Amino acid sequence: MESISYRHKNVCVGVNMIYINDNFASELLENSYKDLISLLEITVKLKKEKKVHQPLKPYLKFPEKYNRIIAMPAYVGGDIDICGIKWIASFPKNLEKNIRRANCVTVLNSVETGEPISIINSPELSIYRTASVSGMILKKYLSDSASKNVVIGIIGYGPIGQKHEDMCYKLFGDKIKKILLYDIKKIDKVSGEKSFICNAWRELYDEADVLITCTTASEPYLDCSPKKGKLTLNVSLRDFDIRFIDSAETVCLIDDWEEVNRENTNIENLSKENRLSKSDCIDIYDYLYEKIDVKDKALFFNPMGMAIFDVVVGKYMYDKAAIKTRGENYE
């Protein structure tokens, strides 16, 4: 690759490369939920058609067991036609140093030549992808419901929790009665007039029609089962004490069995106790596109996070950046 590059504000455009930093990533992804969900829905179909490839992601581990870095390579075919890899680090104790917990670099490559076409140095890709996957499931769930007075409960109000709140307002604001928030750390302010702070997680659990876990918990603390007739988006994967989960009344919705059935997730621990198998779970495709009635049971979504979604969000950012930077003045 030639080394010539032109710098302008938050983007560096090389002859064959676009570099996107944190500020520019936020700009590109602002108000993007509808677009991203449409792309994710297409990707789910491509996965069903076996037009994607994503190896099992490796975890790089350290003596401090709470630290990890994950490599997430993927190829997505069809009209999207992109490949790349996300390299995401999670160091929870960074917060004590006033450093963000998650840092992320995504590299996109040309499917035709293998050349790198973009470097995205921002966790915003991961944050928006996570909230948009939840939004995709929530969109389907609410479309099957006539309710316009939905109570959302969000446990954990870091970047992921805040982005879920934002997604709920922007996509489903007309259907939401209120959003209840809880975090073990004090929440100083909320983002919308329908948002309210709770003093304990059980307050919002008892009232919520949709429960979303967005914590960094490594040990379970929810001594309850997902609620019957309601949706639980178990984004943080490890919050429920499985001793209290009523397997007979819970339908587990997953993104990928091989991924989610490891790393001490609620799904893995249920599987280890022979209370859950792959055949017991519903795949995202089946939930979105097949007629499956789960109204009388608890719908329990456990998204480990698929690399195919990350490179698709990355491609969306790359395409917008390419359009945005054309015709601008560079130094």
Give the pLDDT confidence score for residue 147 in this predicted structure.
74
| Structural domain for 288, as ranges | 128-306
Which CATH number does the domain housing residue 14 bear? 3.30.1780.10
Q: What is the CATH number of the domain that holds 205?
A: 3.40.50.720
pLDDT tens by residue, 64-90: 999 999 999 999 999 999 999 999 999
Provide the token pair at 78: 């069809």
Using alpha carbons, select from 286, 279, 250 the residue that is nearest to residue 266.
Answer: 250
Residues 133 and 102 both lie in one domain: no
Distance (Å, whole) CA 323 – CA 309: 22
Q: How far apart are the first and last CA of the chain?
A: 20
Going by their DSSP bridges, the two strands 68-76 and 52-53 should be labelled as: antiparallel
Residue 91 in domain:
yes
Question: What ranges make up the beta strands (E) of 146-201?
Answer: 150-155, 176-182, 195-197
Same domain, 13 and 141: no
Task: Say if residues 85 and 69 touch (Cβ distance below 8 Å).
Answer: no
Is the residue at 331 inside a domain? no
Number of domains, the chain: 2
- Are 147 and 287 in the same domain? yes
Q: d(Cα 40, Cα 52) in Å, to the nearest integer?
A: 13
123 conformational bin, left if phi > 0, alpha if psi -120 to 50, beta if neither: alpha
Q: Which two tokens stand for residue 279?
A: 């055949």
In-domain check, residue 87 = yes
- pLDDT under 50: residue ranges of the chain: 1-9, 329-331
Give the span between the Cα atoms of 104 and 218, in whole angstroms.
Answer: 21
Stated pTM of the model: 0.93
Alpha-carbon distances, residue 101 vs 67, 107, 205 (angstroms): 10, 20, 26
pLDDT tens digits along 53-64: 999 999 999 999
